[in-house]
Structure 1
Amino acid sequence: MTHIIVPATSANLGPGFDSFGVAVSLYLDLEILQPASEWIITHELDGLPHDRSNLIIQTALELAPNLEPHHLKMTSEVPPARGLGSSSAAIVAGIELANFLGKLNLTADEKIQIASRIEGHPDNVMPAIVGDFVVGANVAGQVFWKQIPFPDACFVSVIPKRELKTTESRSVLPKELLFPEAVQASSIANVLLSALQQGDLTTAGKMMEADLFHEPYRATLIPEVVQLRKIAHEEKAYGTYLSGAGTTVMTVIASEYAPALVERVKNEMPDCLVHLTKVDKQGVRIVKAD
């Protein structure tokens, strides 16, 4: 059988709003089964369609309308509406499905351009496609992007058991920033990027927590950020930030300190799911199993 594996993604990393994204080791697995008379996708997620109106199939047919229908099976570790790129993972899976079945031979850049157009911005789709840490910008309708190796570290994902739609999370953001505040917010993102390029996670963590673009406004919707940040500081973490639009809160920490943080968060924040993850370096891939 053929499997399409897509990693979850964590966007923004604090000040890199709609521009920074990193792939993490939680996965959507799309198994391509036998051809069928109509498209059908088997899964166990509430509220998602099982027919051609599913986002994965919609995306595939947008690229290749004449694809032969197949029976598909999806399993996913990426929870919906939690700031871990669930819709981006579905879009990327759909692009890869069309690329594989339709023999489109798309390049990574072509996949990123298509996915960004469908998703609306590139931060989640870029790392889902190429893996690792990716920085991108949409300029005049074209996405310019660069993949950068993320320094060795663990990501502790803390996921509250409630959804938060991106539209609701964006509704609390200001329509504009004062010029001096925008300059400061941009400079914080610049230092974060430079620190990551130099492998300086101590400085990077401080910049993750100094965001002015979105976290001060979204923190009212996700109070777990403040609680987790306090715990993480006590457990020697580099930094804690709101993943995408939330509700997931992500902490970057050295691997030797990560297990203790995981256990403490499980004890002190029992209403949250906790995952210990690492950076996925591959992005979307095809795996063939017997």
Structure 2
Amino acid sequence: MRGRFAPSPTGYIHLGNVWSAFLAWLQVRQAGGTLVLRIEDIDEQRSKPIFTQALMEDLHWLGLDWDEGPDIGGPYGPYIQQERYDRYAAALDTLKTAGLLYPCYCSRARLQAVGAPHAGEHTVYDGHCYGLSEAQRKQMTKKPSWRVHVPERTISFTDGVYGPFHEDLTRCCGDFVVRRADDMYAYQLAVSVDDGAMAITHVLRGEDLLSSTAQQIWLMETLGYTPPVYTHVPMLVDEVGNRLSKRQHGITIRSLRDRGLTAEDILSYLAYAGGLVPERRRYSRDELVRRCDFHKLRTEPIVVNML
């Protein structure tokens, strides 16, 4: 097994981030596999090196160690996305050669007006710019984004928590952006290339990314990679149902540590709240590896009160 934790260094890690990191670490350690730490910093405006350093310090304090990463290297490096742009450019060339890449000149207003909502997360593009002739494209003055054209195909996969899915690409995502108009590589492209090129066999992440899975599977297959096994886990929410985020105060690992909580307190609480262990008490990390039962993981959002 090769798993990964792939945080974005846009702030100090909080309880919601640690929930995913803990479960990814736990899944790999229970299987005796290899855990990769990958820094997803393609959002150059919001990502900061100070947060990359801080998140590695916080993960070390929690005892969530990794086997490959930006600080220790490994056979599949580099492990920082800003150092992997050549891989993404090569993937775009592959898509272009296959006749799947095309420029999109649509404004944000048009996309919001005509896009069909899917699962409350995003809109499905109507394919407007796919049919433009070369002459029409030459008349455009707006700098385009670049989309990949998806076929009429159903992607089937079985999630480790939520079971089987059968997703029609034209309905669940439509033609999606792989490079933005500001030249930033899109998340869908970067994560698919990285998981494929790093030979990741198991991806564990938040349920909010479940709706992206079908398009990533198709993109990985199109680029010649073998898709991993996916496990999506329920999100942590506060007592009124709001998803935990960096905007909320008092939930960063540093703030919890300053309040006197230990790493074992935090991880044991998360394991109990998620249903992985039956008793609410302090467990050592070795105990958590031995006793946590993924089959008992809750599927509904998990309310936390460690605030």
Normalised to the residue count of structure 1, the TM-score between the two structures is: 0.26
Structure ranking higher in helix proportion: 2
Normalised to the residue count of structure 2, the TM-score between the two structures is: 0.25
Structure ranking higher in strand proportion: 1
Taking CA–CA contacts closer than 8 Å with sequence separation of 6 or more, which of the two structures ends up with the larger relative contact order?
1
